[in-house]
Amino acid sequence: MASLSPMMKQYFEMKKKYPDTILFFRLGDFYEMFYDDAKLVSRELDLTLTGRDCGQEERAPMCGVPFHSYETYLARLVAKGYKVAICEQMEDPALAKGLVKRDIIRVVTPGTVLESSMLDESRNNYISSVCVRGETAGVCFADISTGELYATSLHKNLEEQLQNELSRYSPSEILVNQAVLDFKKLPKFIHDRLCASVELLDEADFEQSEAEKKVLQQFQKDSLEQLQLDDKPELTSALGALFAYLKQTERTGVERIAAIQMYSGAQYMRLDLNTRRNLELTETMRSGEKRGSLLWVLDKTHTPMGKRLIRSWILQPLLSPAAISRRLNAVEELTEDSVLRDTIAEQLSGVHDLERVMSRVVYGSANGRELRALEGTARRLPPLRTALKNVQSQLLCKILEDMDPLDDIADLVDRAIVEEPPFSLREGGIIRSGFSEELDLLKGDMSSGRGVLAQIETREREKTGISKLKVGYNRVFGYYIEVPNAFKEKVPETYIRKQTLTNCERYITPELKQLEGRILGAHDKSVQLEHQLFEQVRKQIAGEMDRVQRTAVAVAQLDVLLSFAQVSVGHQYTRPIVDMSGKLELKDSRHPVVEALLEAPFVPNDVTLDKDQNRVAIITGPNMAGKSTYMRQAALITIMAQIGCFVPAASARVGITDAIFTRVGASDDLAAGQSTFMLEMVEVADILKNATPDSLIILDEIGRGTSTYDGMSIARAVVEYVADKKTLGAKTLFATHYHELTALENLLDGVKNYNIACKKHGDDITFLRRIVRGGADESYGIEVAKLAGVPNKVIQRAKRILAELNRNAPADKKSVRKAKPQLAEESMQLTLTPPGEKEALERLRSMDVNTLTPIECMNQLFELSKLVKGEK
């Protein structure tokens, strides 16, 4: 260490403070890395590894990234799970006496990113802290880029609840104590499903007394008393560990988090990870894209704050009819006033990310361009307030009240910052003329000095007769007089030679040296003063954090409500009735996503579910006919209603649903030793254990991963369990190919049969997409296989096998498949009705005229007439 250069000693001092990070060490226009850090970064980012003399015999391995574009490299390292410590120059190297002072200004981790280029403006970037104490757990989620902080306490079934809460917020980094890692499934869930970085902190970081100190440092005592944290020690520990970690990584600006928003499971509908994936709320299952999701349909927001908020609302439907009604009232008022919608949309289109810009202001990293963005956004607020001055709904009135015009901030920035500020503060030229008299004097000295230089150049040309003489500037030698070699004989003796070049000589004079000191002194002082003035402006704006944050929240809410209104008008949605009735009654409902994707008109359907006579709907019919679409649209409309949006239906009544559970599709988890059927049963078990009578359950093809009789038995037992009020009695949509289950309508109270109507013409099948009462008697599996392109030889062989199986099926099996036991007795009785009339009557009973075209109706009537007349 003694043989190291002073700069490398400084490097190792910084590295010693943060040994588990990659150290970005600022040297001039580069961030440099040395030794192991250099080797690591060179390998991970494919950078050239060089070396540097550092006072030892061997050169130190070194690689670097440009200061002006470091965010690109930083993002790649953080995405790979590395932590990066930023060691910045704390003074201008040109003004430093000796070694430049440096210090760690922040440590960048996946959950503490502030750079806008590294963040997705449409979603939050949460860091979570989890503390497990016995049978309780404290969980909090903070987004330091927006200042949001949410916290809750969990009790019982901790592993399952922790999975649900973590998946709800999807943090990029999670701070945990050892007890969290002791769970069997949770660590794997975090790694595989959330892909989050995990930081195991010492138990001392969660120690109660120390945690309380950290929390008290962040918030006032009276505000903490309102949150009643005294009886939630596990939550206090989680919060304390979070703030300690943020103070260590961010160093300054943690005060951006100014309030804790406590929440509980009683506020929001429960949507576990499977349900969010199956319903494709924010992204599609197959490609992970936004297009094709519910978010894609509803998101017509204009601001980054609105994009983040609408995602949050979709993932957290409300359980309070009053809160839902406030949103619906606001959406309704906006749908009825097209001029108001257009005015709001026009103003919102120019609004920047108030929340994240303000965070960078508070953390001291905002540059001049970001302050100008803040000013431009503030100019949009007065017109927005004017547009809202006559609104009537309670929520829009509250938004108007919370929306501060921020005139003083806009005026301050406009007076202080030039319209097109430079990227770096160290370049100068960022403060507008007239803002500081002292700065204007310095710039005047610089300007007049440059004028004198021009005069000197003209005078010296005339005096010496050297027509190509010029006065120039070099960062090493300062100002100089340059004379081409052809004119060297004319150079006066008073010129002092400073530099010899190939084609010319450079000289200085006492007058030029004196002028150089005046100009460069004024420049250095002006740059330093501009930096100080900018810091003062930024600090003054940071003091208005609460006003800006409140305004940002109001703007975000207005943006989402406007988006709901625009979508509702564009797609002809209707306002739902949301109450505590426990009913789900939809008239002519449509799937919001499928409808938006289809070029052809969507076939609407009714949905009727309640807690009494329509608890369970058993839906039969062929594959591809639309069973899954029908069930999903019922779930999506329920979610849309409870987030306060209009819904795709002619009319809708939605009783508050506390949770939606789905078991849809076939998948496996072979790495965990779970087959498709095993995973299906695990998900069914979770549903049956956690659903309540107020839940909505979507079950698609239960029991198909095992033998026919086993699967049918499990499917029937599940139907009986969910239908029985003594065991569950939840609203359930149950799609199945086990036609035998349709017999349950006559055996179980609250069970009703439905099927997907279709038409068969020989080997061809047409899906009519209509849900009708009654059970289907065929699956049309072979016809669907034909549609899928299975070779005709296979299709024909399948038909022969099916016919043989039907002939050899046991009598009791055949009777069960008909799902109408009484038919066996009816077939033994004599009848005086002519055969043709009986067949015509049966065809009329099974016919759904709503699914027939006019020409089909005429054909059917013609055939029925022939039957009754006995004509063949």
- pLDDT for 515-529, tens place per residue? 887 777 777 788 889
Q: Could you tell me the pTM of the whole model? A: 0.83
* Residue keyed to tokens 């002809």: 572
CA distances from residue 250 to 199, 254, 644 in whole angstroms, order as listed: 16, 7, 37
Q: What percent of the chain has pLDDT over 90?
A: 55
pLDDT at 413: 96
- pLDDT for 738-772, tens place per residue? 888 999 999 999 999 998 877 666 666 666 678 88
Q: Which residues contact 862 (CB under 8 A, 6 or more apart)?
A: none
- How many CA atoms lie within 13 Å of 567's alpha carbon, on the beta-carbon side? 27
Instruction: Name which of 697, 732, 575, 582 is nearest 648 in CA terms.
Output: 575
The two structure tokens encoding residue 244: 């300690």
pLDDT above 80 for 596? yes
List the single range of 189-198, 416-425, 756-765 with lowest mean pLDDT: 756-765
Region for 870 from its dihedrals, namely left if φ exceeds 0, alpha if ψ lies in -120 to 50, beta otherwise: left
d(CA 427, CA 16) in angstroms, rounded, equals 32
Find out whether 298 and 568 touch, Cβ atoms under 8 Å. Answer: no
pLDDT at 855: 67
Instruction: Name which of 291, 283, 266, 206 is nearest 240 in CA terms.
Output: 206
Q: For the chain, give every residue range classified as CATH 3.30.420.110.
A: 119-264
CA distances from residue 149 to 123, 169, 261, 599 in whole angstroms, order as listed: 15, 11, 6, 43
3-state class (DSSP) for residue 703: coil
d(CA 748, CA 764) in angstroms, rounded, equals 35
The two structure tokens encoding residue 127: 């860091």
Average pLDDT, integer, range 525-540: 91
- The reply to whether CATH 1.10.1420.10 applies to domain 299-406+544-571 is yes
pLDDT at 251: 74
Annotated binding site: 621-628
Q: Which residues contact 443 (CB under 8 A, 6 or more apart)?
A: 433, 522, 526
What confidence category does residue 675 fall into, taking pLDDT thresholds of 50, 70 and 90?
A: low
* Residue keyed to tokens 């306490």: 153
Q: For the chain, give every residue range classified as CATH 3.40.1170.10.
A: 6-108
Dihedral sign, Cα of residue 410, residue 412, residue 418, residue 423 = negative
Average pLDDT, integer, range 95-121: 88
Beta strands, E only, 388-521: 470-474, 478-484, 496-500, 504-508
Domain 437-538, architecture per CATH:
Orthogonal Bundle (1.10)
Average pLDDT, integer, range 525-551: 92
Pick the residue with more confidence: 677 or 270?
270
pLDDT above 90 for 699? yes
3-state class (DSSP) for residue 134: coil
Q: For the chain, give every residue range classified as CATH 1.10.1420.10.
A: 299-406+544-571, 437-538
Helices and strands in the chain: count of H runs, count of E runs: 31, 27
List the single range of 34-48, 61-75, 805-819 with lowest mean pLDDT: 805-819
Region for 368 from its dihedrals, namely left if φ exceeds 0, alpha if ψ lies in -120 to 50, beta otherwise: alpha
* Residue keyed to tokens 């928003």: 261
3-state class (DSSP) for residue 401: helix
Q: Which residues contact 325 (CB under 8 A, 6 or more apart)?
A: 578
pLDDT at 271: 93
Q: Which residues contact 764 (CB under 8 A, 6 or more apart)?
A: 783
pLDDT above 80 for 824? no
pLDDT at 115: 87
d(CA 464, CA 860) in angstroms, rounded, equals 114
Quick one: 845 exposed, middle or buried, by C-beta within 10 A (0-12, 13-18, 19+)? exposed
pLDDT above 90 for 658? yes
- pLDDT for 79-103, tens place per residue? 888 999 999 988 777 667 788 899 9
Instruction: Name which of 671, 821, 856 is nearest 746 in CA terms.
Output: 821
d(CA 503, CA 727) in angstroms, rounded, equals 98
What confidence category does residue 815 fall into, taking pLDDT thresholds of 50, 70 and 90?
A: very low
- pLDDT for 1-38, tens place per residue? 557 788 888 999 999 998 999 999 999 889 999 999 99
**What single-letter DSSP state applies at residue 463?**
H
Average pLDDT, integer, range 132-137: 92
d(CA 570, CA 83) in angstroms, rounded, equals 46
Phi/psi for 184 (5° steps) reads: -75, -45
Average pLDDT, integer, range 366-382: 95
Average pLDDT, integer, range 606-620: 94
pLDDT at 779: 66
Segments in 750-871 forming alpha helices (H): 781-787, 792-808, 811-818, 823-826, 835-846, 854-868
d(CA 644, CA 601) in angstroms, rounded, equals 26
The two structure tokens encoding residue 517: 């000191």
Find out whether 435 and 417 touch, Cβ atoms under 8 Å. Answer: no
> Angle CA(599)–CA(603)–CA(608) in degrees, nearest 5?
145
Dihedral sign, Cα of residue 738, residue 743, residue 749, residue 755 = positive
Find out whether 649 and 587 touch, Cβ atoms under 8 Å. Answer: yes
- How many CA atoms lie within 13 Å of 138's alpha carbon, on the beta-carbon side? 23
- pLDDT for 218-262, tens place per residue? 776 655 656 667 678 899 899 999 999 998 888 777 888 878 888
CATH number of 6-108: 3.40.1170.10
pLDDT at 735: 92
Instruction: Name which of 194, 199, 208 is nearest 238 in CA terms.
Output: 208
pLDDT at 39: 93
pLDDT at 827: 37
The two structure tokens encoding residue 92: 């201008």
List the single range of 155-164, 350-359, 403-412 with lowest mean pLDDT: 155-164
Annotated binding site for ATP: 621-628
pLDDT above 50 for 819? no
Q: Which fold has domain 577-790?
A: Rossmann fold (3.40.50)
The superfamily CATH assigns to domain 119-264 is MutS, connector domain (3.30.420.110)
What confidence category does residue 399 fall into, taking pLDDT thresholds of 50, 70 and 90?
A: very high
Q: C-alpha 831: how far from its chain's center?
A: 67
pLDDT above 50 for 731? yes
Strand order in the sheet with 731-735: 270-271, 659-663, 696-700, 731-735, 616-620, 751-761, 764-773
pLDDT at 516: 80
Q: For the chain, give every residue range classified as CATH 3.40.50.300.
A: 577-790
Q: Residue type at 378? A: A
d(CA 679, CA 523) in angstroms, rounded, equals 70
- pLDDT for 828-841, tens place per residue? 343 445 556 667 77
d(CA 860, CA 839) in angstroms, rounded, equals 13
Average pLDDT, integer, range 411-419: 95
